[in-house]
């Protein structure tokens, strides 16, 4: 189907934590293949696989040493081919991560590049001479702490690493590097993948003059736990050449009819940049971390979505509340729910009502929360460096909980990260077929989205007082009024121009023109005339 991605729902799978098939405590590709029927039954349209490529696993696969092979911990290329074939049998698309802005320091290209200044790969990475005093060439910082420059005694130069020192940045100002990256994409396209998720999509190019970043212009009362956020990243990323590179990628994707989604790693102008990166001829979709914070107000959601569609009428967003890098949203917004289940159901309904494409993080359909881990249990380099705050990413990456058996049905042995009692009680087997469960609500909501104006209808926001978020999706026959009480206190509003509640509405009752919205209520009402909502 042409433009299948537009309005589609993608489910993010973290291979290490989805299903272990060989009893080593680590999830793998055959395990994912085994669980694909669950995803098809859930009602999503695509599966996004986080990295499974050969890697020394210093950053859990986001440090790639061979872009065209599967790491043995996850299986083989034959296992990957079987996964794609099974997904397609079930009507699921397969999107795979591409971590192309940097590689592992164990990649053969980097080994060659660091050997001398005159070899064929000498200019494949970002190298720079020290300042006269021996210090790094700029003040750029690493996301994972410390300077973004690492001294290399072989070349007597610094190399750039926006993340770990073992993740050197590739030099995309070199056309050979671009051609190499396109070759990696072609390898997987020819194996049948339906698209790519591009990691840190705004990090490919750097300022060739290596100018210092200015301080963040926003006033902050004290230093942040991670000083990376104290700079305005004007020169180490977000360069205009990125957009030309997106257009080169798009030409290849169009050759195969494949889709793309970019991760916008930016805290200042992310919504605007999402629009720039999804302009015609560039990426198909883009998401950022804008909706993955702690704000759960009507004004926040209304402003963020309005900002995108008013600023990028020809662009296309992908919205997500959680992923493998942030605290799960049920944990972030816990104080705003009358119960964990009520908040989980409402958040799922809200996200799946937004215009754009949607990405679900594995386990959120169970109302899963973050796992509280001790320092000795951590594997995440970011979490270890900044302990105890921010908490890092292991807390959200613990294994999928399939049933109530030992090790949660994920493995026959102790898994690589623990499944603790608070998470263990929220399992697939215990929620399947239970009408009031979070899982069954997600299934109903996904089906409702596919068959209604929620998938492709335009959005018209209503300006209502907090904590009520209201908008109309679609026009004419089939248009829907969507109302959400984003609090744990009951309230009511007067509505006109609508019919009776339909679909997976929650905690709402229509009494004449008075709509009672219980705590964390969700209301879907067919539009029959001119819509009016009065607080």
- By annotation, the residues acting in catalysis are 199, 255
Give the C-alpha separation, 510 to 501, whole Å: 7
Instruction: Give the H/E segment covering residue 334.
Output: none
User: Of 338, 382, 380, which is closest to residue 491 (Cα–Cα)?
Assistant: 338
Q: What is the 3-state secondary structure (H, E, C) of 132-193?
A: CCCCCCCCCECCCCCECEEEECCCCEEEECCCCCCCCEECCCCHHHHHHHHHHHHHHHCCCC
Instruction: Give the H/E segment covering residue 362.
Output: none
Give the C-alpha separation, 453 to 474, whole Å: 5
CA distances, 170 to each of 253, 339, 409 (Å): 21, 47, 40
What values do phi and psi take at 462, rounded to 5?
A: -100, 135
Positive/negative CA dihedral, 158, 160, 161, 166: negative
User: Of 74, 68, 72, which is closest to residue 50 (Cα–Cα)?
Assistant: 74
Structure tokens at 442: 């997600």
Omega before residue 452 within 30° of 0, cis = no
User: Residue 375 gets which letter from DSSP?
Assistant: G
Give the C-alpha separation, 35 to 400, whole Å: 11
Residues 6+ apart with CB under 8 A from 245: 172, 178, 204, 205
Instruction: Give the H/E segment covering residue 358.
Output: strand 357-361
Residues 6+ apart with CB under 8 A from 47: 10, 11, 13, 32, 36, 39, 87, 92, 93, 94, 95
Gyration radius of the chain over CA positions: 24
């Amino acid at each position: 189907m042409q433009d299948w991605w537009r309005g589609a729902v993608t489910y993010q799978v973290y291979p290490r934590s989805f299903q272990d098939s060989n009893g080593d405590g680590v999830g793998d590709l055959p395990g994912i293949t085994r669980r694909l029927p669950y995803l098809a039954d859930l009602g999503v349209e695509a599966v996004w696989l986080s990295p499974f490529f050969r890697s020394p696993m210093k950053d859990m696969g986001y440090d790639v040493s061979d872009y065209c092979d599967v790491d043995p911990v996850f299986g083989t290329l034959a296992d990957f081919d079987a996964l794609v074939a099974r997904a397609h049998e079930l009507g699921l698309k397969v999107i795979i991560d591409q971590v192309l802005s940097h590689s592992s320091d164990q990649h053969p290209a980097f080994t060659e590049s660091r050997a001398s200044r005159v070899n064929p790969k000498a200019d494949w990475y970002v190298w720079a001479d020290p300042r006269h005093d021996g210090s790094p060439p700029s003040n750029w910082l690493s996301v994972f702490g410390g300077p973004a420059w690492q001294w290399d005694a072989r070349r007597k130069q610094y190399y750039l690493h926006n993340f770990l020192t073992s993740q050197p940045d590739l030099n995309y100002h070199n056309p050979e590097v671009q051609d190499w990256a396109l070759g990696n994409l072609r390898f997987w396209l020819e194996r049948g993948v339906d698209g790519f998720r591009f990691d840190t999509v705004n990090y490919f190019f750097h300022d060739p003059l290596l100018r210092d970043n200015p301080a963040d212009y926003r006033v902050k009362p004290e230093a942040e736990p991670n000083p990376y956020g104290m700079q305005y990243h004007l020169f180490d990323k977000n360069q205009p050449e990125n957009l030309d590179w997106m257009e080169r990628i798009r030409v290849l994707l169009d050759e195969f009819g494949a889709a793309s989604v970019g991760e916008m790693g930016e805290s200042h102008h992310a919504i605007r940049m999402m629009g720039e990166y999804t302009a015609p001829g560039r990426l198909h979709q883009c998401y950022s971390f804008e909706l993955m914070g702690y704000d759960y107000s009507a004004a926040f959601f209304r402003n963020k979505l309005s900002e995108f569609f008013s600023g990028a009428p020809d662009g296309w967003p992908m919205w997500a509340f959680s992923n493998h890098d942030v605290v799960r949203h049920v944990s972030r917004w816990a104080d705003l729910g009358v119960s964990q289940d009520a908040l989980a159901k409402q958040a799922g309904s809200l996200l799946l009502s937004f215009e754009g494409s949607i990405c679900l993080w594995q386990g959120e359909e169970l109302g899963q929360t973050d796992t509280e881990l001790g320092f000795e249990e951590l594997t995440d380099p970011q979490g270890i460096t900044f302990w105890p705050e921010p908490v890092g990413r292991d807390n959200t990456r613990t294994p999928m909980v399939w049933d109530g058996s030992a090790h949660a049905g994920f493995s026959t042995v102790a898994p690589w990260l623990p499944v603790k009692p608070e998470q263990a009680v929220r399992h697939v087997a215990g929620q399947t077929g239970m009408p009031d469960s979070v899982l069954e609500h997600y299934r109903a909501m996904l089906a409702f989205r596919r068959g209604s104006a929620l998938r492709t209808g335009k959005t018209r926001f209503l300006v209502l007082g907090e904590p009520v978020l209201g908008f109309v999706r679609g026009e004419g026959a089939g248009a829907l009024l969507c109302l959400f009480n984003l609090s744990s206190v009951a309230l009511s509003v007067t509505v006109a121009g609508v019919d009776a509640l339909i679909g997976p509405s929650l905690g709402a009752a229509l009494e004449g023109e008075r709509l009672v919205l219980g705590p964390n209520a969700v209301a879907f009402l067919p539009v029959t005339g001119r819509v009016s909502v009065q607080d």
